[in-house]
């Protein structure tokens, strides 16, 4: 139930002027006016045909209420074109095209839309045939008018399918974004925004599965006396310190390194593709220095904290769990040294 521009149709003005006689032009206009006089009949015949069709699913009430007006207006545009060569205005075509988009958004089955267009096509052909017989129109005029109806019906179906394709593409894109958002939520700490334990273990396992396990290291850090921050200033202040601390750790490592929060005040870094024991120790010292800088909180409050960092470098046979345990042992060794320091696992278990 849609009208295309006449220049694209099978009986556009250029073809008409070249192939049709002046008598045919007059007959075509007479037929167009006759069709316009029977707009209500076209709607009634179309609706009657559609009532006899079995619809898949339950018919959409909004679509059913909108359909008679769409039939009436589409028929009027075609009758006007037959009678006067006046092409539909883009706004008129946009109004008709809304039907396909609205049908897609309202989940009207595509087959219902197609059947509606076909019923409209058959109703118009019936009315045009009746009027051509009554007016004595030449067979060529009726044939060309019928081709115009078929073309417009086909164009309407194509536009509707295009609207459904666009709607489907929009839904697919929205679902893809939602999946990414859900995956991000599932794999990141909601407070600090860094990775959570699940993502950390995933990335650490991937790093250890590569042929050079010695190129991977884990840095486990714990903010010293963090309980005192919560007790003295409240949990909101403690959360603010954790957020800022995670940000400083993130800024102290490379973009490809994984920063994660394991829970409470424990943060962890996975260094992949390192140059051995020297680089992890240097990165750990850089992180410790960054966390030594005072944190400015709301209300003009400034607080200083320190962090103890344990470093474990992967060896053959290490798993993600065993490497984290080594880093944890080294971190508690750093706390035993007086807090705020860095300890290598090798220092805990010298060869």
**Span 79-108, average pLDDT:** 79
Q: Do 6-180 and 197-348 agree at the fold level?
A: no
Task: Assess whether 265 carries a catalytic annotation.
Answer: yes
Report the pLDDT value the prediction gives residue 67, as an integer from 0 to 100.
Answer: 87
What is the SS3 string spanning the chain? CCCCCHHHCCCCHHHHHHHCCHHHHHHHHHHHHHHHHCHHHHHHHHHHHHHCCCCCCCCCHHHHHHHHHHHHHHHHHHHHHHHHCCCCCHHHHHHHHHHHHHHHHCCCCHHHHHHHHHHHHHHHHHHHHHHHHHHCCCHHHHHHHHHHHHHHHHHHHHHHHHHHHHHHHHHHHHHHHHHHHHHHHHHECCCCCCECHHHHHHHHHHHHCCCCHHHCEEEEEEECCHHHHHHHHCHHHHHHHHHHHHHHHHHHCCCCCEEEEEECCEEEEEECCCCCCHHHHHHHHHHHHHHHCCEECHHHCEECCCEEEEEEECCCCCCHHHHHHHHHHHHHHHHHCCCCCEEEHHHHCCC
On the question of pLDDT at 328 being above 50, the answer is yes
Q: Which of 257, 265, 272, 318 is catalytic?
A: 265
Report the pLDDT value the prediction gives residue 11, as an integer from 0 to 100.
Answer: 40
On the question of pLDDT at 317 being above 70, the answer is yes
Report the pLDDT value the prediction gives residue 162, as an integer from 0 to 100.
Answer: 82
**What is the distance between the alpha carbons of residues 197 and 193, in angstroms, rounded to a whole number?**
12
Of the pLDDT bands very low, low, confident and very high (cuts 50, 70, 90), residue 20 is low
- The CATH code of domain 6-180 reads 1.10.490
Report the pLDDT value the prediction gives residue 1, as an integer from 0 to 100.
Answer: 63
CATH superfamily placement of domain 197-348: Reverse transcriptase/Diguanylate cyclase domain (3.30.70.270)
Report the pLDDT value the prediction gives residue 8, as an integer from 0 to 100.
Answer: 45
Question: β-strands 266-271, 258-263: how paired?
Answer: antiparallel
On the question of pLDDT at 351 being above 50, the answer is no
Of the pLDDT bands very low, low, confident and very high (cuts 50, 70, 90), residue 288 is very high
Report the pLDDT value the prediction gives residue 197, as an integer from 0 to 100.
Answer: 95
Of the pLDDT bands very low, low, confident and very high (cuts 50, 70, 90), residue 111 is confident
Which of 5-14, 87-96, 328-337 has the least mean pLDDT? 5-14
- What percentage of residues in the chain have a pLDDT greater than 70? 88
**Span 288-316, average pLDDT:** 90
Which of 5-14, 16-25, 183-192, 266-275 has the least mean pLDDT? 5-14
On the question of pLDDT at 277 being above 70, the answer is no
Distances (CA, A) of 270 to 38, 196, 229: 77, 12, 27
Contacts of 187 (CB under 8 A, 6+ apart): 195, 196, 198, 199, 202
On the question of pLDDT at 10 being above 50, the answer is no
Dump pLDDT digits (tens) for 180-197.
999 999 999 999 999 999
How many Cα atoms occupy the beta-carbon half-sphere of 21 within 13 Å? 7
Dump pLDDT digits (tens) for 241-274.
999 999 999 999 999 999 999 989 999 999 987 7
Dump pLDDT digits (tens) for 142-163.
999 999 899 888 888 888 788 7
Dump pLDDT digits (tens) for 32-80.
999 999 999 999 999 999 887 777 766 678 778 888 998 999 999 999 9
On the question of pLDDT at 3 being above 50, the answer is no
**What is the distance between the alpha carbons of residues 333 and 346, in angstroms, rounded to a whole number?**
11
Is residue 113 within 8 Å of 157, Cβ to Cβ?
A: yes
Sequence ranges of the domains in the chain: 6-180, 197-348
Report the pLDDT value the prediction gives residue 107, as an integer from 0 to 100.
Answer: 72
């Amino acid at each position: 139930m849609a009208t295309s521009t006449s220049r694209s149709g099978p009986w556009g003005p250029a073809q008409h002027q070249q192939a049709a006689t002046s008598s045919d032009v007059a007959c075509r206009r007479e037929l167009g006016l006759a069709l316009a006089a029977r707009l209500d009949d076209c709607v009634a015949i179309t609706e009657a045909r559609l009532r006899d069709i079995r619809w898949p699913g339950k018919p959409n009430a909004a679509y059913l209420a909108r359909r008679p007006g769409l039939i009436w207006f589409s028929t009027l545009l075609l009758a006007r074109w037959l009678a006067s060569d006046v092409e539909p205005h883009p706004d008129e075509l946009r109004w008709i095209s809304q039907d396909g988009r609205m049908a897609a958004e309202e989940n009207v089955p595509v087959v219902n839309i197609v059947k509606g267009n076909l019923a409209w096509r058959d109703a118009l052909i019936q009315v045009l045939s009746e009027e051509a017989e009554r007016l004595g129109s030449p067979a060529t005029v009726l044939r060309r008018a019928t081709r115009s109806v078929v073309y417009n019906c086909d164009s309407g179906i194509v536009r509707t399918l295009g609207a459904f394709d666009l709607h489907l593409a929009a839904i697919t894109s929205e679902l893809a974004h939602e999946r990414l958002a859900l995956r991000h939520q599932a794999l990141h700490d909601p407070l600090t925004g860094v990775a959570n334990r699940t993502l950390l273990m995933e990335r650490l396992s991937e790093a250890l599965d590569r042929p050079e396990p010695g190129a991977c290291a884990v840095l486990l850090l714990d903010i010293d006396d963090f309980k005192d921050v919560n007790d003295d200033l409240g949990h909101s202040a403690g959360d603010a310190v954790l957020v800022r601390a995670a940000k400083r750790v993130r800024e102290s490592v490379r973009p490809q390194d994984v920063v994660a929060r394991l829970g409470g005040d424990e943060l962890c870094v996975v260094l992949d593709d390192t140059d051995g024991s020297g680089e992890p120790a240097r990165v750990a010292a850089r992180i410790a220095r960054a966390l030594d800088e005072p944190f400015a909180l709301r209300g003009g409050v400034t607080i200083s904290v320190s962090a103890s960092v344990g470093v474990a470098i992967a060896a053959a046979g290490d798993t993600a769990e065993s490497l984290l345990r080594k880093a944890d042992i080294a971190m508690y060794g750093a706390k035993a040294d007086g807090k705020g320091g860095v300890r290598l696992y090798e220092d805990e278990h010298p060869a």
